[in-house]
């Protein structure tokens, strides 16, 4: 048994991954295991009866969008009927922010790992406020989804054909140097993306009117880049998943009810605990009583060594965590205690360009009691209202303890006996 | 409920700052609502919804700052306004002391490869594993922790020895390496005398006296209290002695310990002889008089260990400096005078010590003239007690029995303060002995912490028609964080008799009792 | 025994594990030092701590 060697292999695969945006496809055709009656969701497996408000709203919206229901009432019936298969995005090489619902007709980004060949998928970001991922399902929401399907996605698909692939890792590493962290702060990344795409969009066959509305749409949404950083992270971590004896945590995800993790050596087993309400700053008019428990696959960012793990590089986010640069530095520094390596691409200027702590080691989390620090948006518990704040959250320790016991059982073929 | 809305024109703050500010300000007592936002349409709608939109706010624009407060009364409103003002003005200071604490030894070793030594002061059941990690990482260890299993001490000292590393401890309270104090130790002038000690307070007394005599100390290597047991065999003692033998700054070697196991004793003396350097050994209680035997000086007291070492370092003959200290005649007179003031009931010596070896030394010195001396760390099994009771009683309050759930008496004086009063109330107490240990690690004002108890104790005795002499020595140097002279002066002002060494306080008490009981 | 002679040849660089006061005293003396805020492995859970030791290799 050489866990350290297995981990070195795993972390090498993480660091060598080159997630590249190569195109846009439709979920049904692109995402493995997708079919006409399947809805993918964020986080570990969860049945309809345990889904939180925003996720139920998003499911209902998706059913209406797909034409599987005419209105909210019918959508509710269909959702409860048992006809619909619900499965985690993660089981299908995909990730989704907040409720993270992916339905067959939705366009998805295709991210390919140029080094190892594996792919990952994510929907395109709808914007802020009343959107599907926060559980909204009004006609306005459906209309926007249709516009994305019919105008935005094809325009971007054509643009990508002209420009070839865009290396998301490169863009993200530049963005981290510009005050982003790739999870809660994506303004620089979105700006770099538009810069990258614009000449090709203009050169493509897309009409001027559509090109303008595409650019306006992206420009109006600071988080557009998030839906690229997430599958970039997924693509990266999938390449390091399934390595025997490795204690690398390859997945962290929440569905608004449970928080779940997966470990490289332990295959598809999820280790879950109750999702917590983040310690947050709330937008004016909202407070903790409005907050939904932690939700979304976006924590793939921290799993892959950015997001909260690059917090010290993102001064604008700093205030969400205890309020001072000192605390952000301390939070980032403590992450080095539980990770395997320092990233070679995501560098933190205030730490003298030290690489972000990357590759959570299950053993170190249990040993030190230090849980991964996650920056996250907070959703309103009622569907369709939107984001009510942002803050800091940690996974439940229970996930890591159970995973460690399972790992020990797995690698030691005899029953573990306290020494 | 009163509401106050203020608008500052053309005053921009970003939304994150304002959210944080609103949260901070809402903590002001009496605040019901605080909303501090830029005057955008959305924000004005919000203010309207919560009843905080007045005429001025209605007219505010997106680049104007709106401060809206609702509180229980006008006073609270004012307080809220002041809080918002302060928060707006507050400059983010860069962390003055952002000293990072590592969560594991492993990450500290990784971050600080130039580390030579690791100081470990965590519970014993975890401490030995950390010590093992250090030794395997090639680091020397100062192991302050006690309650380490004996078999682990033996095993780890063997591994450390194989790798040429010092494992000072477990239960090692004192070390001074190249002038750097580890644990409880005094600030000492550097000089030619090297010390290897299995005793903390013993090392402190000897080295303080060396400093006070004008000489200096090269190093103090601690071995931990159990090093000279049969099982451990004096492993670290031997390594320490050999290291001082090779150390060019050390010219005289002093060894301090309780008497080792006889086999171990032989081994230690052998190593000492082979160094070729002048050496002094104080195996507390092993000899009644200081003398030279087989090339090594044996000292009967800690004070004499220091005097012999200093003499050797100065190429003087130690024999010539072993008489009574100058001024001793006066103390003999004082002892007689004190004895005359005692009431007939006052027949027993009592001592309350924070330093284990100082306690031990007092017991040895007094046993010679008084016979049985009871203690929690007695010379023989029949003399073991846990509290002041029958007969002459000298207690080591740093012993495990007294430190369960409580800090060591060198840090926390409360138990000793209480016991001083108990001793004073006992009509049979003739004289009270105390130690007062200065230096790093100790209470910031050990003398001061004894002053009121001493005064109270003497008052208790006085009001019952008795005179209670209190005798103290201050173990420390003029370089210590606590001001040694001031410590001594304050003890004197409280009515204590302050002598220059622990041995002298015990001898004083012996003289006093000789006058009382007519014992020779 | 070069290593011990090395230690005695100059002021040591120290890692402090445990009592904060010892670390403070080291810094007061101008020693190059860092401090570890020790917590029992696995939050004091002996069973998990034993497993971790086996898995550390």
pLDDT in tens, A167-222: 999 999 999 999 999 999 999 999 999 999 999 999 999 999 999 999 999 999 99
**SS3 state of residue B437:** strand
Is the minimum CB–CB distance between C13 and chain B shorter than 8 Å? yes
Whole-number Å distance between alpha carbons of A250 and A263: 5
How far apart are the two ends of chain C, measured CA to CA in Å? Answer: 29
Residue of chain A whose Cα is closest to the Cα of B15: A283
| B37/A284 touch (CB, cutoff 8 Å), yes or no | yes
pLDDT score of A375: 87
B289 closest CA partner among B278, B279, B272, B304: B304
pLDDT at A377 over 50: yes
- ipTM for the predicted complex comes to 0.96
Tell me the shortest Cα–Cα distance from B64 to chain C, in angstroms. 47
Whole-number Å distance between alpha carbons of B59 and B44: 9
φ, ψ of residue A121 in degrees (nearest 5): -135, 150
Is the minimum CB–CB distance between C45 and chain B shorter than 8 Å? no
Tell me the shortest Cα–Cα distance from C12 to chain A, in angstroms. 25
| B144/C19 touch (CB, cutoff 8 Å), yes or no | yes
**SS3 state of residue A37:** coil
Is the minimum CB–CB distance between A418 and chain C shorter than 8 Å? yes
A75 closest CA partner among A88, A87, A89, A57: A57
Mean pLDDT along residues A306-314: 91
- Triad B381, B384, B386: Cα angle to 5°: 155
Which among C41, C43, C51 has CB closest to A416?
C51
The alpha carbon torsion through A283, A289, A293, A298 (nearest 10 deg) reads 0
pLDDT in tens, A276-309: 998 888 888 888 899 999 999 999 999 999 999 9
- Of C57 and A139, the one with more pLDDT: A139
φ, ψ of residue A34 in degrees (nearest 5): -85, 145
Q: Is residue A121 within a helix (H) or strand (E), and if so which, with residue range?
A: strand A119-123
Number of H-type helices and E-type strands within chain C:
3, 2
B268 closest CA partner among B225, B235, B226, B292: B235
Chain C touching partners, 3 or more CB pairs below 8 A: A, B
CA A21 to chain centre: 16
Whole-number Å distance between alpha carbons of A27 and A94: 10
A230 closest CA partner among A320, A306, A316: A306
**SS3 state of residue B338:** helix
b (16+ CB within 10 A) / e for B19-54: bbbbbbbbebeebebbbbbbbbeebbebbeeeebbb
How far apart are the two ends of chain A, measured CA to CA in Å? Answer: 18
Residues 6 or more apart from B139 whose CB is under 8 A from it?
Answer: B109, B115, B116, B117, B118, B165, C15
Whole-number Å distance between alpha carbons of B323 and B506: 16
- Asked which of A215-229, A299-313, A322-336 is least confident by mean pLDDT, the reply is A322-336
Q: Is residue B87 within a helix (H) or strand (E), and if so which, with residue range?
A: helix B74-89
Rg (C-alpha) for chain B, rounded Å, is: 32
B388 and B426 Cβ atoms separated by less than 8 Å: yes
How many other CB atoms sit within 10 Å of the CB of residue A207? 11
pLDDT at A225 over 90: yes
pLDDT tens, per residue, chain B with 520 residues = 899 999 987 776 766 678 778 888 888 889 998 999 888 888 888 889 888 998 989 988 877 889 999 999 999 999 999 999 888 766 333 222 337 889 999 999 988 999 999 999 998 889 999 999 999 999 999 999 988 999 999 999 999 999 999 999 999 999 999 999 999 999 999 999 999 999 899 999 999 999 999 999 999 999 999 999 999 999 999 999 999 999 999 999 999 999 998 899 999 999 999 999 999 999 998 888 888 888 899 999 999 999 999 999 999 999 888 888 888 999 999 999 999 999 999 999 999 999 999 999 999 999 999 999 999 999 988 899 988 888 999 999 999 888 877 788 998 899 999 999 999 999 999 999 999 999 999 999 999 999 999 999 999 999 999 999 999 999 999 999 998 999 999 999 999 999 999 999 999 999 999 988 654 4
Is the minimum CB–CB distance between A408 and chain C shorter than 8 Å? yes
pLDDT score of B93: 31
B392 and B370 Cβ atoms separated by less than 8 Å: yes
Assigned token pair, B400: 């495990």
**A284-287 — which CB contacts under 8 Å span 24+ positions?**
A284/B19, A284/B22, A284/B35, A284/B37, A284/B43, A284/B46, A285/B46, A285/B49, A285/B50, A286/A380, A286/A388, A286/A389
Mutation target among C48, C49, C56 for the A interface, most CBs of A within 10 A: C48
Band (A387; pLDDT cuts 50, 70, 90): confident
Range ranked top by mean pLDDT from A145-154, A349-358, C23-32? A145-154
pLDDT in tens, A85-107: 999 999 999 999 999 999 999 99
B94 and A318 Cβ atoms separated by less than 8 Å: no
Which among C45, C46, C55 has CB closest to A3?
C55
pLDDT score of B16: 66
Q: Would you tell me which residues 396-415 of chain A have a C-beta closer than 8 angstroms to some C-beta of chain B?
A: none
Can you name the residues that pair with B394 across neighbouring β-strands?
B351
pLDDT score of B20: 75
A254 and A42 Cβ atoms separated by less than 8 Å: yes
Average pLDDT of the residues of chain A:
93
Is the minimum CB–CB distance between C55 and chain B shorter than 8 Å? no
pLDDT score of A320: 65
Show the DSSP H helices in B380-445 as ranges.
Answer: 414-425
The pTM for the full model equals 0.82
How many other CB atoms sit within 10 Å of the CB of residue B462? 12
DSSP of A156-206, one letter per residue? HHHHHHHH--EEHHHHHHHHHTTT--SSS--HHHHHHHHHHHHHHHHHSS-
pLDDT at A318 over 90: no
Tell me the chain C residues in contact with residue B123 when contact means C-beta distances shorter than 8 Å.
40
Tell me the shortest Cα–Cα distance from B197 to chain A, in angstroms. 35
Assigned token pair, A409: 């059982």
How many other CB atoms sit within 10 Å of the CB of residue B291? 15
């Amino acid at each position: 048994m050489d866990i350290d060697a297995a981990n070195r292999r795993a972390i090498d695969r993480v660091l060598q991954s080159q997630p590249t945006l190569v195109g846009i496809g439709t979920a049904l055709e692109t995402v493995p295991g997708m079919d006409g009656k399947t809805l993918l969701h964020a986080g570990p497996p969860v049945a309809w009866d345990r889904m939180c408000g925003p996720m139920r709203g998003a499911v209902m919206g998706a059913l209406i969008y797909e034409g599987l229901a005419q209105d909210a009432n019918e959508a509710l019936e269909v959702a409860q009927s048992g006809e619909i298969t619900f499965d985690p995005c993660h089981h299908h090489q995909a990730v989704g922010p907040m409720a993270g619902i992916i339905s067959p007709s939705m366009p998805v980004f295709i991210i390919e790992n140029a080094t190892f060949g594996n792919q990952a998928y994510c929907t395109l970001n709808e914007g802020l406020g009343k959107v599907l991922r926060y559980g909204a399902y009004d006609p306005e929401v459906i209309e926007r989804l249709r516009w994305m399907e019919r105008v935005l996605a094809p325009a971007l698909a054509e643009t990508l054909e002209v420009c070839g692939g865009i290396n998301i890792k490169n863009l993200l590493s530049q963005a981290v140097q510009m005050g982003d962290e790739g999870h809660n702060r994506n303004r620089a990344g979105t700006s770099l993306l538009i810069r990258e795409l614009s000449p090709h969009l203009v050169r493509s066959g897309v009409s001027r009117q559509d090109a303008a509305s595409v650019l306006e749409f992206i420009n109006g949404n600071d988080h557009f880049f998030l839906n690229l950083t997430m599958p970039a992270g997924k693509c990266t971590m999938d390449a390091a998943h399934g390595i025997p004896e490795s204690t690398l945590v390859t997945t962290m995800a929440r569905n608004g009810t449970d928080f779940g993790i997966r470990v490289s050596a332990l295959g598809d087993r999820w280790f879950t605990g109750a999702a917590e309400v983040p310690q947050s700053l709330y937008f004016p008019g909202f407070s903790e009583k409005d907050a939904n428990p932690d939700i979304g696959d976006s924590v793939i960012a921290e799993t892959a060594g950015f997001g909260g793990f690059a917090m010290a590089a993102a001064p604008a986010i700093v205030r969400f965590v205890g309020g001072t640069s000192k605390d952000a530095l301390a939070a980032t520094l403590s992450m080095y205690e539980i990770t395997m390596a320092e990233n070679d691409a995501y560098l933190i200027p205030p730490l003298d360009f030290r690489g972000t702590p990357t590759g959570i080691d299950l053993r170190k989390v249990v040993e030190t009691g230090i849980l991964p620090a996650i920056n996250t948006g907070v959703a309103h518990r009622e569907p369709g209202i939107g984001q009510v704040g942002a803050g800091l959250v940690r996974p439940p320790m229970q996930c890591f303890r159970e995973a460690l016991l399972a790992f020990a059982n797995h690698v030691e073929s005899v029953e573990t006996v306290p020494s | 409920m009163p509401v106050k809305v203020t608008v500052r024109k053309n005053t921009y703050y970003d939304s994150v700052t304002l959210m944080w500010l609103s949260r901070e300000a809402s903590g002001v007592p009496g605040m019901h609502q605080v909303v501090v936002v830029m005057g955008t349409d959305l924000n004005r709608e919000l203010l309207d919804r919560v009843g905080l939109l007045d005429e001025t706010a209605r007219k505010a624009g997106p680049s104007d700052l709106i401060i809206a407060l609702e509180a229980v009364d006008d006073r609270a409103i004012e307080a809220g306004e002041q809080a918002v003002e302060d928060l707006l003005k507050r400059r983010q200071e860069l962390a003055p002391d952002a000293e990072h604490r590592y969560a594991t030894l492993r990450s500290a070793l990784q971050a600080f490869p130039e580390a030579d030594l690791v100081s470990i002061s965590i519970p014993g059941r975890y401490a030995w594993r950390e010590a093992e990690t250090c030794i395997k990482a090639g680091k020397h260890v100062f192991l302050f922790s006690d309650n380490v299993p004996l078999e682990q001490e033996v095993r780890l000292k063997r591994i450390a020895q194989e790798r040429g590393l010092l494992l000072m401890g477990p239960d090692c309270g004192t070390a001074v390496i190249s002038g750097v104090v580890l644990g409880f130790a005094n600030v000492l002038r550097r000089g030619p005398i090297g010390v290897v000690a299995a005793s903390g307070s013993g090392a402190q007394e000897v080295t303080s006296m060396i400093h006070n005599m004008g000489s200096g100390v090269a190093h103090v290597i601690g071995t931990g209290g159990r090093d000279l047991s049969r099982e451990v065999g004096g492993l670290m003692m031997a390594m320490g002695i050999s290291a001082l033998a090779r150390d060019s700054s050390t010219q005289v070697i002093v060894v301090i310990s309780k008497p080792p196991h006889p086999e171990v004793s032989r081994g230690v003396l052998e190593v000492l002889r082979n160094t070729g350097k002048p050496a002094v050994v104080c195996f507390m209680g092993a000899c009644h008089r200081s003398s030279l035997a087989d090339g090594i000086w044996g000292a009967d007291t800690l004070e004499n260990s220091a005097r012999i070492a200093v003499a050797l370092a100065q190429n003087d003959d130690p024999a010539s400096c072993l008489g009574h200290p100058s001024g001793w005649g006066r103390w003999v007179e004082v002892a007689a005078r004190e004895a005359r003031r005692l009431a007939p009931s006052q027949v027993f010596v009592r001592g309350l010590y924070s330093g284990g070896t100082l306690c031990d030394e007092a017991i040895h010195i007094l046993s010679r003239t008084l016979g049985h001396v009871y203690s929690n760390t007695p010379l023989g099994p029949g003399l073991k007690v846990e509290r002041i009771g029958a007969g002459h009683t000298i207690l080591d309050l740093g012993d495990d029995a007294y430190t369960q759930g409580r800090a060591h008496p060198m840090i926390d004086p409360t138990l000793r303060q209480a016991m001083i009063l108990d001793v004073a109330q006992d009509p049979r107490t003739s004289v009270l002995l105390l130690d007062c240990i200065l230096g790093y690690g100790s209470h910031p004002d050990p003398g001061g912490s004894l002053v009121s108890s001493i005064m109270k104790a003497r008052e208790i005795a006085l009001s019952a028609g008795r005179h209670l002499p209190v005798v103290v020595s201050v173990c420390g140097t003029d370089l210590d964080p606590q001001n040694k002279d001031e410590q001594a002066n304050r003890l004197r002002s409280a009515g204590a008799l302050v002598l220059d060494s622990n041995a002298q306080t015990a001898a004083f008490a012996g003289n006093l009792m000789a006058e009382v009981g007519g014992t020779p | 025994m070069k290593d011990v002679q090395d230690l005695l040849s100059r002021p040591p660089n120290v890692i402090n594990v445990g009592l904060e006061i010892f670390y403070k005293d080291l810094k007061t003396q101008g020693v190059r030092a860092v401090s570890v805020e020790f917590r029992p492995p696995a939050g004091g859970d002996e069973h998990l701590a034993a497993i971790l030791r086996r898995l550390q290799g």
